[in-house]
Amino acid sequence: MVPGLISYNIVILVGAALLIAAQQWWVCTRRRRPRLQVTALGHQALALLFAVGALTVLLPPVYRAIGSVAGSSNLALLLADSLAVGFGWVVIGYVAVTENPNHPARGLLGNAWLTASVIGLMALLFARIPTDQAEPYRFIERYGTQPYVLEYTVVYMGWVGAIALCLMRISWRAWREAKTARQHTQLGLHTAAWGIGVAYTAHSCLHAVVRRFDLPYPLTDPTMLTNGLLIVSILLNLNGLFLGGYRWAQSYRDHRLLYHLWRDIYALYPTIIAKSPFEAPRSEFADILTVRVMRHRLERRVLEIQAGIVLLGRHWDPAAIKEAVRRCEAAGIDGKHARATVDAIGFLATIHAGTNEIAQKRATISDSVDEITDLDEELHYLRRVARAYHHSPIVTATLQARRRDFEHAA
């Protein structure tokens, strides 16, 4: 009873994880649009409701209570399986809406009436299965020789397997279009997980056939293989989720790292966010609390900094650049770090020295930078610039020297 309880609890709990996996796949392969957030959250809430409901009815006390009240010892199993079918319908709808929000193509698997018909057929078949004792964890093993158990299993597992196959094809398509090694790895794990999920449903049907016709089976415990396939599928999906979580953490770190450079540029050129779907954070604390759609926000921040850099170039301070080069050579800094340090000094000196003049000549983002050709490459550069901008002693010393020059000139 205990191993079965653990395995079935994992089945339902992983449902919520698989929904999050679908969301992570979308974040990694497409730009999330803010107007989709409400729809996405609605699908997530409904899916979690189905998952929690299925988990609840499979708990032994609840399972027995439902059977006692309804007068059918295993009615809770039908309810849990129906909730699992509903969960798959929500996931298919979620993917369809996020792929094409204007005209979502749900297909047959996402058709509500067809899904309801499948649940109705499951209920009809289940009602004709003679059972006398509650058995939620080894139902096929115990009642596999009874009539309509095979038919019920084929309908239920066939439908769940079709959903897993559909999601495997979607993950496979996204894997082929992935542009980075991390996306390839994450989407590859999800593709493999859904593929093993298809194998899990196929083996469950095979197990039902073997029990129905009393055929020989090479394994002494088919349930062990079924649970093994399920656990491997779960682990692969969770590994994909961990990679998605790592990607979010990296995007959040870079978003915060670029904040001070972005803030100073935005103070001079507020119009760099003219095309942004996001509001500018009112304070650093508000920026710290920003946690949603981080990849999209990071892209916008990089784009806005690029636009500001183009505009700052019109007011470059050549004396500050010469001083920066001299100090980098004296400190033995060369290569990419030297370029980042020199650029950071140029930005900072221009911002502080020419604030009044620049403020009178504000421009917009429309005539500067419209898209990012290589986000990762640009991030590598801006990370170095942002670190030098905020922490480099050479930048601080050069800026102090330029301030003294301005004071003497005044």
Q: 232-255: per-residue pLDDT in tens?
A: 887 787 666 666 677 778 888 888
Helix axes 375-391, 259-268, angle to 10 degrees: 90
Res 282 pLDDT > 60: yes
CA angle 287, 289, 290 (to 5 degrees): 65
| Torsion angle defined by CA atoms of residues 54, 59, 62 and 63, in that order, rounded to the nearest 10 degrees | 80
Residues 301 and 278 in one domain: yes
Closest CA to 123 of 99, 91, 152: 152
**Quick check: is 35 in a domain?**
yes
Tell whether 183 and 202 lie within a shared domain. yes
Tell me if 253 is assigned to some domain.
no
CB 249 within 8 A of CB 164: no
Report the pLDDT value the prediction gives residue 359, as an integer from 0 to 100.
41
pLDDT band at residue 188 using 50, 70 and 90 as cut-offs: confident
Query: 33 and 81, same structural domain?
Result: yes
> Which pair of tokens denotes residue 231?
């656990």
280 secondary structure, DSSP code? P
CB 238 within 8 A of CB 20: no
Is the same domain home to 391 and 324? yes
Give the domain range for residue 73. 2-248
**pLDDT in the model for residue 152:** 96
Residues 183 and 271 in one domain: no
For residues 91 and 364, give the distance between their C-alpha atoms in angstroms, rounded to a whole number.
41
- Which of 214, 248, 282 is the endpoint of a domain? 248
Residues 94 and 204 in one domain: yes
Q: Are residues 6 and 49 in the same domain?
A: yes
Is 277 in the same domain as 223?
Answer: no
pLDDT of 311 strictly over 90: no
Residue 52 near residue 79 (C-beta atoms within 8 A): no
The answer as to whether 232 is a domain residue is yes
pLDDT on residue 395: 75
The pLDDT of residue 6 is 45
| C-beta neighbour count of 247 within 10 angstroms | 19
**What's the pLDDT at 240?**
63
Q: Which of 248, 276, 302 is the last residue of a domain?
A: 248
State the total domains in the chain. Answer: 2
Tokens 């597992």 sit at which residue? 157
Residues 223 and 284 in one domain: no
Does the pLDDT at position 30 exceed 80? Answer: no
Name the least confident of 35-49, 120-134, 151-165, 210-224. 35-49
Domain final position from 198, 218, 248: 248
pLDDT at 332 > cutoff 50: yes
pLDDT score at 29: 41
H helices of 272-316, in order, are 284-288, 294-312
Q: What does the pLDDT look like over 107-130, one tens digit per residue? A: 788 888 999 999 999 999 999 998
Neighbours of 63 (CB within 10 A): 23
Cα-based distances in Å from 353 to 272, 317, 398, 400: 20, 8, 12, 11
Chain segment 80-97, per-residue pLDDT in tens: 999 989 988 988 887 777
Residues 193 and 291 in one domain: no
The answer to whether residues 292 and 231 belong to one domain is: no
| Torsion angle of C-alpha atoms 386, 392, 395, 396, degrees rounded to 10 | 120
What pLDDT was estimated at residue 178?
80
Which DSSP letter does residue 72 get?
A: -
Q: Is pLDDT larger for residue 389 or for residue 353?
A: 389
Q: What angle do CA 79, 81, 82 make, to 5 degrees?
A: 65
In a domain, 302, yes or no: yes
Q: Look up tokens 């609605």; give the residue.
A: 42
The CATH code of the domain that includes 177 is: 1.20.1070
- The span from the CA of 264 to the CA of 43, in Å, is 39
On whether both 180 and 327 belong to a single domain, the answer is no
Report residue 331 as tokens: 């400190």
